[in-house]
């Protein structure tokens, strides 16, 4: 996906003249707002371990979340994961080692999630 900057006048023209653009934009904004709300709720109600499990399953994509049983993560640094989860890199490393020892993830050609990562997390 490529980012494009539109001036106000161009945006108004696109909204008025391009079929489906306003629907696409509204859908995108609503999806983004839902993700932000879910992230805020996670910060308030879940431990950093649970938040990491959720971020990893989202990064694994629909093949994992749809019941495919496993998903390969894109290359993401632990610093980036820490920023996404709202914790430190050392905590991410600690939790990733716990997940690996429990057989929930494995390292090889990238990080591979095994089924049941979120299901294995204790609910608070």
Report how far apart the first and last C-alpha atoms of the chain are (Å, whole number). 37
**Per-residue confidence (pLDDT) for residue 43, from 0 to 100:** 81
Residue 71 predicted with pLDDT over 80: no
Q: Give this prediction's pTM.
A: 0.65
Between 2 and 21, the higher pLDDT residue: 21
1's tokens: 């996906």
- Which ranges constitute the DSSP H helices of 21-110? 21-45, 48-60, 62-63, 78-85, 89-101
45 with 37: CB under 8 angstroms? no
Q: Sorting pLDDT into bands at 50, 70 and 90, what band is 63?
A: low
């Amino acid at each position: 996906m490529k980012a494009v900057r539109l001036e106000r006048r161009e945006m108004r023209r696109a909204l008025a003249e391009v079929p489906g653009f306003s629907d696409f934009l509204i859908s995108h904004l609503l999806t983004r707002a839902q993700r932000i709300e879910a992230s805020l709720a996670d910060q308030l109600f879940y431990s950093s371990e649970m938040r990491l499990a959720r971020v990893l399953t989202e990064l694994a994509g629909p093949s994992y979340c749809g019941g495919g049983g496993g998903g390969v993560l894109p290359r993401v640094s632990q610093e980036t994961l820490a920023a996404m989860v709202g914790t430190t890199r050392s905590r991410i490393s600690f939790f990733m080692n716990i997940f690996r020892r429990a057989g929930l993830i494995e390292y090889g050609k990238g990080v591979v999630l095994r089924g049941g990562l979120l299901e294995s997390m204790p609910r608070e």
